[in-house]
Amino acid sequence: MMRAGQAVGTLTKQAWQTTSGTSLKMTVSLAFIPAFNIHVGAFSRVRYSSRPVKAGFSTYQGLDPDRAKDVLKKAQVICFDVDSTVCAEEGIDVLAAFLGQGQAVADLTAKAMGGSVLFQDALKGRLDLIKPSRADIQNCLLRHPATLSPGVKEFVGRLQARGTAVYLVSGGFRLMIEPVADRLLVPRDRIYANTLLFAENGSYKDFDPNEPTSRDGGKAAVIKSLKEKHGYQDVLMVGDGATDMQARPPADAFIGYGGVVVRDPVLQGADWFVRSFQACAFNFGEYARTSILRNSGDFLKVEVHV
């Protein structure tokens, strides 16, 4: 099925062989292609199936993709949402399912991310349902460690290697996000998230209302504070939800991420809407230059330079 914003064609072994020994300038970004085996981190060898496969190329869906791409290329700071962006699930939904309140909490999460209820109201309602103790969270993390979205670790690594500061700005819970930050080598003092408060016996007490991400507009407040405190220029926000889109401005651009779930307000309102982190990573350079190295059995080996 053809996705909105994509041109779809069939690539065969014979068609690729005709380009052997040449370089192709690609002025479009590679979109999410599950039939392809893409090694994003190294950007050295990309293997394409020799059988006919469907290939999709992004047409830069969004209100101002060129602006978003420009900010991405020169950003001093990129702030990532965590749930359904960096991670391939909503942490609070995983925790709720672990505690037997999955569907009720998932419904509130969808409303909060879609922007139909105030985030602080949805947060309070979900926590009142599950009342997670400190032990509940620790046990949930042990049994259900977070799943990173495909390509995000490599993308974050490339950003850090070029000197871009990466922050995790989330309406989720700090206790659940800290292990994710550790896996991405993001310092814990660059996490902005909600702090849960516990009684002396470890039972749930409340959440800290002073955390900016505990309420609507909180992510915008975080970015405003980062700019004022550090003098950052060219700040980009990446996320899947309405609360992420609220961060632009003061964020200089907003990339909507739909690799886990596509939310219509974000699809319509993002400067650039992508369905994979590969699409973002391919836009570090002006284009991707692709050349076939050789045919080796079942696969054609391709080298990609960006």
Give domain status of residue 40, yes or no.
no
Buried b vs exposed e over 151-184: b needs ≥16 C-beta within 10 Å?
A: bbbbbbbbbeeeebbbbbbbbbbbbbbeebbeeb
Residue where the block lists tokens 């979109």? 31
**Count of domains for the chain:** 1
Query: Is the separation of the CB atoms in 283 and 102 below 8 Å?
Result: no
Task: Give the model's pLDDT for residue 51.
Answer: 34
pLDDT of the chain, 306 residues: tens digit per residue: 333 333 333 333 333 333 333 333 333 333 333 333 333 333 333 333 333 333 333 445 888 888 999 899 899 999 999 999 999 988 888 888 888 877 777 777 666 655 566 777 778 888 888 889 999 999 999 999 999 999 899 899 999 998 999 999 998 899 999 999 999 999 999 999 999 999 999 999 988 888 888 888 889 999 999 999 999 989 999 999 888 999 999 999 999 999 998 988 999 999 999 988 887 876 664 333 333 333 334 333 333 333
> Catalytic positions, please?
81, 83
Structural domain harbouring 221: 65-89+148-284
Task: Give the model's pLDDT for residue 122.
Answer: 79
Task: Give the model's pLDDT for residue 235.
Answer: 95
Give domain status of residue 198, yes or no.
yes
Task: Give the model's pLDDT for residue 20.
Answer: 32
Beta bridge pairs of residue 197: 206
Q: Give the containing element (helix H, strand E) for 230.
A: helix 218-230
Give domain status of residue 132, yes or no.
no
CA distance 207 to 126: 11
CATH of the domain at 82: 3.40.50.1000
* The pair of three-digit structure tokens given for residue 214, joined into one six-digit string: 């505990």
Give domain status of residue 192, yes or no.
yes
CA distance 23 to 296: 19
CA distance 244 to 236: 11
Give domain status of residue 239, yes or no.
yes
Give domain status of residue 37, yes or no.
no
Buried b vs exposed e over 47-71: b needs ≥16 C-beta within 10 Å?
A: ebebeeeebbbbebbbeebeebbbb
Give domain status of residue 5, yes or no.
no
